[in-house]
A and B are shown apart, each in its own frame.
Chain A
């Protein structure tokens, strides 16, 4: 790598950035030094900003020939020791699913940003939350994944750093499920001093004093230490079902269950350490609004108005993390309510795990769908007042 010119990172203080720019800057701040991408509206601004900035901090940028190769670049870069990212929109996200599946099985840290737009097909170039199920289930096969849901330009900065930290900590691909609203809005982004930003790097076998001859590429811990190419560890990355030593001969169902089971549990068992939510006004509430992404910004206003203007005791929960889904935490937060409202920029997706979690905690779960545009506070309130006259 070229000398790292971290002095060229964003200076601490208040900046005014598009969400797209904030996302790219967050990546650089987290240590991302390889970016590969392909143009697609409305994610292209992230790539363009990365193209400008990567060489200035001693990193490398490449525009690839499609989304599949863009995502594939991240695998090689990660195995060679770099933090790597790409950003795309919904159609490109579909193309990347095989690579995501592969990254899960090989336990490869990388970050993919999906700036969601409506579908199916070309759909439109406005905003959407229609890929949130695909984030969890779009890759073939088992294995869980981490997906974050930013709601502001500040979040685009902070959550991208968090995405890299999670990827390194849990040896997994991490998805930043952004939306066109958030990517294109321009807002204040407060950048703390570099030494106040926690950065996590993967644990290597050298960190644990494990020499090459005793190293098990998929062993030693629930999150195996990860060797980097070029250091004599003869690490072989393989996505066929494997033993802890990376061997793929001698298939047997027990090995299969152990291999894929561990990868699945690695994320799901640690949901409390990984997932974050925000809550407001839950004390004594009789109803609750559960939302994520930019809809949470409308949701906050709707909830406040409903409380202030009509005295409706409604609380607010924002899912900062979509996956792994914090089912138990949600149940702890919502012991008993009447109505659960779930506004989404789709026809009802996260409402499914919400309903699974809270079915016995409430009388009804009410979807509030919107396709292609952000709900106005009035639109959410209209539905609330319909249910709670």
Chain B
């Protein structure tokens, strides 16, 4: 991944997909275990007309001033509405991680790197579609592995899911990671 002064990740979907949780987990991984500075924000509620819910993370070595994403380096879109709403605010050569079952219409133009991960399907195979978000997280990790240790993410997952679901979530993370590693060449 190209490293900027600020690295901006936006995850969007609809309420209930666990979008806010992965933002929290990422932020914890980067800031608590990874030694980075990060700001995690989210929005949901009436603003999510039609169901759009977003969580964002700004990561940097030093101070982070403006706390929101200006142009995302990574956009994870788990619903069509999310993609439609946020695809304009991505950097050139940003990574666009989508679930191809949910996101079927893509913009015709734009220099982004498309990574299709069937998160719902993988989650179902792992044991529960509710861990779609950790599948997406594992997939995302595979794309930014040079910035953060896997262990940091696994510790962060542990602190942010119910103990009874920890095994399931770790498995889902693993499956998401493996899917990307086996299907996509990872650029640094």
In their complex, do chains A and B touch, with some C-beta pair under 8 Å? yes
A185 and B39 contacting across the interface, CB-CB below 8 Å: yes
B68 and A376 contacting across the interface, CB-CB below 8 Å: yes
A345 to B47, CA, bound (A): 18
Flag A255-270 by CB within 8 Å of B: 1 or 0 each. Answer: 0000000000000000
B177 located at the interface, meaning its Cβ lies under 8 Å from any Cβ of chain A in the complex = no
Chain A residues 199 to 258 lying within 8 A of chain B, measured CB to CB, are none
A378 to B68, CA, bound (A): 12
A186 and B37 contacting across the interface, CB-CB below 8 Å: no
Give the A-binding residues of B (Cβ under 8 A).
24, 27-28, 31-32, 37-42, 45-47, 64-68, 70
A378 to B38, CA, bound (A): 21
| A14 in contact with B31 given A126-B47, A184-B42, A187-B40 (CB within 8 Å) | yes
Report which of B32, B47, B66 forms a contact with A376, defined as CB distance below 8 A. B66
B68 and A187 contacting across the interface, CB-CB below 8 Å: no
Chain B residues with CB under 8 Å of A377's CB are: 66, 70
B32 and A14 contacting across the interface, CB-CB below 8 Å: yes
| A188 in contact with B31 given A297-B65, A376-B68 (CB within 8 Å) | yes
A301 located at the interface, meaning its Cβ lies under 8 Å from any Cβ of chain B in the complex = yes
A187 to B67, CA, bound (A): 10
A126 to B68, CA, bound (A): 14
Chain B residues with CB under 8 Å of A124's CB are: 46
B40 and A185 contacting across the interface, CB-CB below 8 Å: yes
A186 and B47 contacting across the interface, CB-CB below 8 Å: no
B47 and A181 contacting across the interface, CB-CB below 8 Å: no
- Secondary structure call for the B interface: mixed
Q: Within the complex, what minimum Cβ distance (angstroms) separates A98 from chain B?
A: 31
A385 located at the interface, meaning its Cβ lies under 8 Å from any Cβ of chain B in the complex = no
| A294 in contact with B41 given A14-B32, A16-B31, A16-B32 (CB within 8 Å) | no
For this complex, 29 residue pairs linking A to B, each with C-beta atoms less than 8 Å apart, are A14-B31, A16-B28, A16-B32, A124-B46, A125-B45, A125-B46, A126-B47, A181-B41, A184-B42, A185-B40, A185-B67, A186-B24, A186-B27, A186-B39, A186-B40, A187-B38, A187-B39, A187-B64, A187-B67, A188-B31, A298-B65, A300-B66, A301-B65, A301-B66, A374-B67, A376-B66, A376-B70, A377-B70, A378-B70
A301 to B37, CA, bound (A): 17
| Nearest-neighbor residue (CB-CB) of A125 within chain B | B45
A181 and B67 contacting across the interface, CB-CB below 8 Å: yes
Most B Cβ at <10 Å: residue of A181, A186, A301, A376: A186
A188 to B33, CA, bound (A): 11
A6 to B107, CA, bound (A): 56
A297 and B27 contacting across the interface, CB-CB below 8 Å: no
A83 to B37, CA, bound (A): 33
| Nearest-neighbor residue (CB-CB) of A304 within chain B | B65
| A300 in contact with B40 given A16-B27, A126-B47, A186-B24 (CB within 8 Å) | no
A188 to B64, CA, bound (A): 11
